[in-house]
Structure 1
Amino acid sequence: MTVASTPMNLTQPAHVGISVSDLDASIAFYSALTGRDPVARGTMDSVPFGGSQGLPTARLRYATINLDGLGIDLIEFQEPRGERTNGRANRPGSMHLCFKVDDFDEVYRRMKEAGHDFLGEDYTFLAGEVTPDEALGTKVAYFNDPDGTNLEIIQPKGGFAR
């Protein structure tokens, strides 16, 4: 695919859409994770909407949970049903959603106590491993939602604001 080098200036995030296999289970997971309930829930049954997504039709259930500055759209496609991607972080096309926290150690501890399975141990960026130096001391940990979507918590340090 060739993309023109003219800037499009797309700098205002609106939402991230996450395809899920069980909307009710995902609402429970993300509501517990964020402390927020859905602001919208509904259904859609549309050939034109499916076409806009490259699908023959789209029959789905959805819910939106709003964070500060970003919505999480949870979408359960009922027709056509999709297959789980079992995405790993290193697979092209995979993505992750990162949650910024103020007290990493406290949030990490509470999440472990609540039963979240992290993909590995928490990690702090060290000298010689990462640039810019402003990222040194940043803490991260990765985990998955019930469908295997990659999620992260981060406590940035210094001028490494993300």
Structure 2
Amino acid sequence: MTPPTAHHVGITVSDLESTVAFYRDVLGLSVIDRFEVAGEAFSTAVDVEGSTGRFAHLDGGDVRIELVEYDPEGDHRHDATLDQPGATHLGLSVDDVDDIFDDLPAHVETLSDPQTTESGTRIAFLRDPEGNLVELLDV
């Protein structure tokens, strides 16, 4: 049996359009697909009765970034910190963390200025409009 390979990383959002705009306009990712899914099979698969989803797939290089807005919408979670078990973040490899960080619009929330870790990697964390953590890193 062939081992699985990554297809996408999914992020649930409450406002698909503003979140797509952030990843497209602020971070420069291309939208490669948009679609809606409904029906009993989908509701059963996601275990949310009567659920429908609006999706946008973004080009994340080797892995798609899937943004999905559900109807009905579930409860909002509190902003995660990276040290919480189960915390997630999206890591994006960039040519120059400092250049991207310096060009971020003023409304984009960041955790700190770019830092160089002991391993020599330059990193910076920010939040998308939904509060999801995004790590920018020089690789």
Same fold (TM over 0.5): yes
CA distance in 2, matches of 1:118, 1:36: 19
**CA shift at 1:50, angstroms?**
2.0
- Give CA deviations for 1:89-111 in whole Å, capped at 9, x if unaligned: 22222211011112222122112
Pick one of 118, 122, 126 that aligns with 1:139: 122
Q: 1:159 maps to what in 2?
A: none
Matched, 1:153 2:139: no
CA distance in 1, matches of 2:85, 2:43: 24
Q: 2:101 maps to what in 1?
A: 108
Pick one of 60, 67, 73 that aligns with 1:67: 60
Q: Is the 8 A contact 1:142 1:153 kept in 2?
A: yes
Pick one of 86, 99, 105 that aligns with 2:92: 99
Runs of 5+ consecutive residues of structure 2 not aligned to the other structure: none
SS at match of 2:34: strand
CA distance in 2, matches of 1:91, 1:46: 34
Across the aligned residues of Structure 1 and Structure 2, the Cα RMSD in angstroms comes to: 1.8
Q: 1:5 maps to what in 2?
A: none
Matched, 1:21 2:14: yes
**CA shift at 1:77, angstroms?**
0.4
**CA shift at 1:47, angstroms?**
2.1
Q: Specify the structure having the higher radius of gyration (Cα).
A: 1
**CA shift at 1:123, angstroms?**
1.6
Q: Report the AA paired with residue 57 of structure 2.
A: T
**CA shift at 1:64, angstroms?**
1.0
Which structure: greater strand fraction? 2
**1:36–1:103 CA distance, 2 compared to 1 (3 A):** closer
Q: 2:116 maps to what in 1?
A: 124
Q: Is the 8 A contact 2:97 2:114 kept in 1?
A: no
